[in-house]
Every structure is written in C-alpha cells, then in structure tokens.
Amino acid sequence: MSLRKNFKILLTMALASGIIFFAAMGLPFNAYSETPKISKESVDILTKTGQAMADVAAAVKPAVVNVSTSRTIKIPQSDFGPFFNDPFFRRFFGDEFSHRQMPKERKTASLGSGVIVSPDGYILTNNHVIKDADEIKVLLSDKREFKGTVKGVDPKTDLAVIKIEAANLPVAPWGDSDKLRVGEIVLAIGSPYGLNQTITMGIVSAVGRADVGIADYEDFIQTDAAINPGNSGGAMVNAKGELIGINTAIFSTSGGYQGIGFAIPSNMAKTVMDSLIKKGKVIRGWLGVTIQEVTPELAKQFDLKEGYGALVSDIIEKSPAEQAGIMRGDVIIEIEGKKVDEPDHLRNMVAGTPPGAEINLKVIREGVSKSITVTVGELPAEMQKATGGEYNNVLKGVSVQDLTPEISRQLNIPSRIKGVVITDIAEGSPSEEHLKPEDVLVEINRKKIADVKAYENIVSKIKPKEDLLLTVFRNGATIYIPLSWK
C-alpha cells in the first residue's frame, strides 16, 4: 500500500472521529472554528463609556500641570573620609586639617503635579512637592514653561499655592467632595515619574480616611486609581470633570502603586486655598475642647446606644465651648446636621468653619440628646505651627512653635525660659548641623524672642548671607550658637 493511500485512510478516520465527537456533544462540526459574537448592544455601551471618559479627560487635562523643583543641599566632605574624625589620626596630624573638611553642595530635583484654579495663574499643589525649593518650574499642557512663586503653604493639610505670570489659563471646575459616594468612578491626572498628562481611572474606595499619618488634618478620599510618585498635587475628578480631590499620597510597601491612593477633598482644599490667597495664612475655626474616640467600653460607661461621635474629655477656660455650655463628658454626635463618626471628623469640620459663625451641635449628655449653639472662635496662634522654610537665610527650613506652659512641662523647661521651640529642621537647612528639634530659641542677635510672631518679625529681616548669634536653651543650659551661611 502506497504512502499516499495510507495518509488518506488516516485523514478519513480523523475526520470521522471529529464528526462523531461533535455529534455526541450536540454541536455542529464547524463550531470550534466560529468567531465569538459581540452584541451590538455591548459594543455601543462600551463605546459610549470610552467616549465619555475621553471627553472628561480632554476637558480636564489642560488644567493639570507638571511641577518640577530643585534645591541645594550641603554634604560635609573630608579628604580623609571617616579617618579624619578618628582621635588617633588627629593626634598625629593635628587639627590643622580641619580646613579641608568643607561642605559640598549638590543640586537635587523632584517632580510633582499641580492644578490650575484661576485663569490668572494660581495653582494648587501639595506642600511636600515644593517644600524648601530654590526654584520652581511649571510646565503647561501646551508645552509652555513658567517660573513659579510660592504664595502660601499649609503643612497641616499638605497643601500649597503657587503662582505663575500668565493669563487666560484653563481651569478645573470645583466639585462638591461632600457629595462623593463610595463606588463612584474617578480619574486621577498628573505626572507620575515625569510622564506628563497621565490619566488613570478607578473608583472611590472610601471617604473620610483619617489617622493615615500624612498630615495633621486628614479627611482623605481613598481610591484604587493608579497614583504613583509624581502624581502628588494632581487632580482627581468625577464623571462630570469636576475637581473633587488633590492627589497626595499612596500606601505602598514597594514604593509604587498597590491599589491604595489618597486625595485631599476639594472642599477642604478650596477653604485652605482661599485663606492662603486672601490672607496669606490659614484661618481655622476653634471650639476649645479636648476630644477622644468613643470606644465600646466608653459607650457603655456614658450610656450610649451607638459607639460613634467625639467624647469631650476637657474644656479650655473661656473658650467658645465653655461659653456655649458644653460640658466634660458630653458626646458630640452631629454638627450642623452632619454625623460625627469620630474625633477627626469633628476637628476637620470645625477647622473649616469661619471664626464668628454660629453652628449647631447635637450632644448626648447623661444619655439624653441636647442641641447646643456655639459661636466658633479662631484657633489661637500658639496652637499653630509656624514654619520658617520660606526664609532665604541661615534659618531657612527651621520650623518653630510657641513655647506654651504645656510644652514646657513636657520638655522639662524651666518657667524662666521664654522663646520658641524648634519642632523640625528640613534636610539641607543651613542650620541643620547646629540646631536640633526641642531646642528653645531665646534670642537672635541678642534680641529676645517672646513668641512666633516676634520670631517671624526678626527672621524676615535677616539677609541671605548674614551671620547670626543665637541664644539657645538645650539640655538644661543656655548656650550661644553662631550661625553662618557656608
């Protein structure tokens, strides 16, 4: 039998087997080769959805900018490396080699994003994007580049306002972040890793996230839209193309996207921005109460049916709360009809209320619901942290706070010591090697410092390369520290 004849027999048997198999399955013989059908309805839905997202992206993209910054940091250098600090080395070669140990300057650059919020060039971004920057460059979607100047910063919310000299710029319309619901579709727009005008899509995973550890005032929107380094300061928009958040941070164990990103709600951002632009600082509302979380144990002790709200544990004398009749042990469960889930929610809502405004609080007192009207006061200056990061002199990057009696007790500082306490020193600050957090600045150039206001008044007049003599209280003693710009 020829090879060709054998091949025909085998082919016939294979085809027959296939026919028998498909017949047994109740399928036509050519079913395996049919192209899957996509219904017109499915195609229409997906096409319309895609077009809608593209329309939103096209409308918002021009209002999102790339923000690049540079700053100079000093790195101590020595010709002898670690050996120079060795006592044995210096015993033989002496201290005359100390002049060789000179600080070396190095330029560092970082990237972030921003959102144009006014046609005349105001841009909202994160404080950490522009902190301690020597130079700020803003790149628009049309490739134009401008120099940015800082108009105001608020480290407590990690927000900042910068300005460029331009006109007729595209802006992002404001949305109401209070109306945002979990599950809504959102777009995140920014410059991750320097890739300008990048858009990612996700949903609102949660709202009202606090205790994240990013800022003092936290009320974050959580999303699974991809947010990566460089997205900070960019826009989060809803399906209407409205700005409902400022992308700020990610939760990550790898440094990259893991499905958990956070944005500052637009309502909080707008309040802070308006205050920075109009008054140069953030004016916050204040009740004058110390509050804590309502745990199941405390809920039982205070005869509460549900474990939510903010428990008042103390009241400051002559504060708005005391004048309104709020008492220790009250549990605040509503403010202006809005539920208070936890202490951070109450703190954020009060802080965002203009001083002088009347608000209605619903409290539970000894198991009975009461309504109390309070006139909101202004957060006292001594409770606000002042930053010297914008000063272009040797105290650049030094953050201070008023030395209150409470802080004096915590740090064991004698009552005779008056001044401001250092709370933070930015990396690369000219005074980084000489000052420490918890140092108390008593005098600058022999001028006494009574409080933050006096500190700002003195420091704002110091020239860029002017030498200073500081009087500092440290470790139980007062010492003199000379500072010079190297």
Active site residue 128: yes
Active site residue 345: no
Q: Which of 375, 200, 379 is nearest to 283 (CA)?
A: 379
> Considering 158, 344, 402, 451, which one is annotated as catalytic?
158
Distance (Å, rounded) from C-alpha 364 to C-alpha 231? 43
CA 165, 158, 354, 389 torsion: positive or negative?
negative
Residue given tokens 């028998």 in the structure block: 20
Distance (Å, rounded) from C-alpha 249 to C-alpha 126? 10
> Considering 177, 205, 232, 275, which one is annotated as catalytic?
232
Reduce the DSSP state of residue 362 to 3 states and report it. strand
Active site residue 408: no
Q: In this structure, which long-range contacts are made by residues 21-30, counting pairs with CB atoms below 8 Å and at least 24 apart in sequence?
A: none
Distance (Å, rounded) from C-alpha 253 to C-alpha 256? 8
Q: Which of 363, 353, 354 is nearest to 333 (CA)?
A: 363
Distance (Å, rounded) from C-alpha 352 to C-alpha 289? 16
Enter the tokens of residue 205.
């995973």
- In this structure, the number of other CB atoms found within 10 A of the CB of residue 182 comes to 12
Please answer whether residues 290 and 326 qualify as being in contact, where contact means their C-beta atoms are separated by less than 8 angstroms.
no
Please answer whether residues 242 and 175 qualify as being in contact, where contact means their C-beta atoms are separated by less than 8 angstroms.
yes
Distance (Å, rounded) from C-alpha 119 to C-alpha 361? 39
Distance (Å, rounded) from C-alpha 174 to C-alpha 365? 39
Residue given tokens 């009347």 in the structure block: 358
Pairing of β 447-448 and β 468-474 = unpaired
> Considering 128, 219, 275, 451, which one is annotated as catalytic?
128
Distance (Å, rounded) from C-alpha 427 to C-alpha 415? 31
The burial class, CB within 10 Å (0-12 / 13-18 / 19+), for 481 is middle
Residues classed as catalytic: 128, 158, 232
